[in-house]
Amino acid sequence: MFSLKTAASFPALLVLAACASGSSEATWDGTVTDSAGVQIVQNTENSIWRGDAGWTLTEEFRIGSADGDPDYEFGQISGIVVGPNGNVFVLDAMASQVKVFGPEGLLLNRFGGPGSGPGELGQGAAMMMLAEGATIVIPDIANQRVNLYDLEGESTGSYAVQLETGVPVKWETTTSGTVVNQLRQFPFPGREGPMDTMDLIASRNSEGQVVDTILSIPAGQTFSMAGGNPQMKFFSSEPSWTLNGDDGVWFATNDEYRIELFDSAGLLSRVLTKPFERRPITEADQAAFLDAMMRLFSERGLPPQAVEQVRSMISFADMFPAFLQFFVGPNQSLWVQHVQAPSELTAEELETYNPQLQLGSTDWDVFNSEGHFLGVVEMPQTFQPMRFTDDAVYGIWRDELDVQYVMKLGIEAGDR
């Protein structure tokens, strides 16, 4: 099992402010019970935060350009890493390149570049992490390898990814830098034997070898194959997971508001629940979703015949999921994103609705490290969080022209 250390502490200001707000058992009206050594944390709909006592997000900077400045222009941001000195590394999947910006947002360096040679990146490099030894890690599935760089952008080698044993569909690192990913089997040509319907969450050593399985989880139901043709059933039950620093992994399937914490030995230690009533997916929701998807495909040059073919592959579940995704934030807080129904949008908003970006609401439930519901934090419209630090969250923000920016939002305590 990967080594465990205590995660970095939240800044003293926010810790003291949270205590001042009464984030203790005395003001939390949920219950905690024990079931065979597993802590069951049952929240109510009432938050600990009262009035203006919650946390707020304030923009500290944004990096990007709408006027074509090549130093600050991004095609498709697919990874953000914050270095130990505050430098911000941004992976642009379209350019197959990493740009490095100082803590104030000024360009310092760039590395990578398209290709298959040492240090070069194949098309679609869609993830970047900071691993042990201050190593920048970029999975490069097109070249079936993982590229490694130092903080100056110099290539320090790579290791192979054997797709036949499992395709990595999600990557994270523990606080101490151990690489962990989710492995899924696919029906490659010539593959024999039955397909495993479970994915593995596994850790890798510095040479890329899979050394331990942390969890075995269901593969999800959105994508499937029927008669050799891909099918997409949107809003189906999907697994979600994220590392709890170095102290285990949070896991859930999003058909219910029940999120489980597994410890470093892979044993269930805590279950977090919160009241939630799932909403039916109406015909209006389906129509708005389909119209937006077809508009996006047409705008990107897909021929009308191909657009209709894609439409025929899409179906819908009966109910919206209980949540979309979750992240671990400062002081091992858990941030859970609400789902946004297309029918909740105005006619004007539907004109630019992008299901790929706006399935999630701007509202996020926040729980403290004990699983107690603190309250709701609102993120900016069109902001996609990618990386939390001790007192900030970094992500992708898009303007009305769909131009991408890196945005840093400071996490601030409210009035107490």
- Which residues, 6+ apart, have CB-to-CB distance to 121 below 8 Å? 96, 97, 112, 113, 114, 115, 138, 140, 143, 147
Residue 407 has pLDDT above 90, yes or no: yes
CA–CA dist 87, 85 (Å, integer): 6
Q: Model's pTM, two decimal places?
A: 0.88
Report the percentage of the chain scoring pLDDT > 70: 90
Candidate from 37-46, 119-128, 158-167, 189-198 with smallest mean pLDDT: 189-198
pLDDT surpasses 90 at 308: no
Q: Check: CB of residue 234 under 8 Å from CB of residue 314.
A: yes
Burial class (CB in 10 A: 0-12, 13-18, 19+), 82: middle
The CATH superfamily of 12-281+317-413 is: TolB, C-terminal domain (2.120.10.30)
In terms of pLDDT, which residue wins out, 184 or 21?
A: 184
- Residue-wise pLDDT for 217-269, tens only, equals 988 888 877 777 788 898 888 899 999 999 999 999 999 999 999 998 889 99
pLDDT digits (tens, 9 = 90+) for 88-137: 999 999 999 999 999 999 999 999 999 999 999 998 798 999 999 999 99
Indicate the domain borders of the chain: 12-281+317-413
Q: Is the pLDDT of residue 392 over 70?
A: yes
pLDDT tens sequence across 350-373: 887 777 777 889 999 999 999 999
Confidence of residue 319 (pLDDT cuts 50, 70, 90): very high
Q: What angle do CA 156, 160, 165 make, to 5 degrees?
A: 150
Closest CA to 89 of 128, 40, 38: 128
Helices (H), 74-201: none
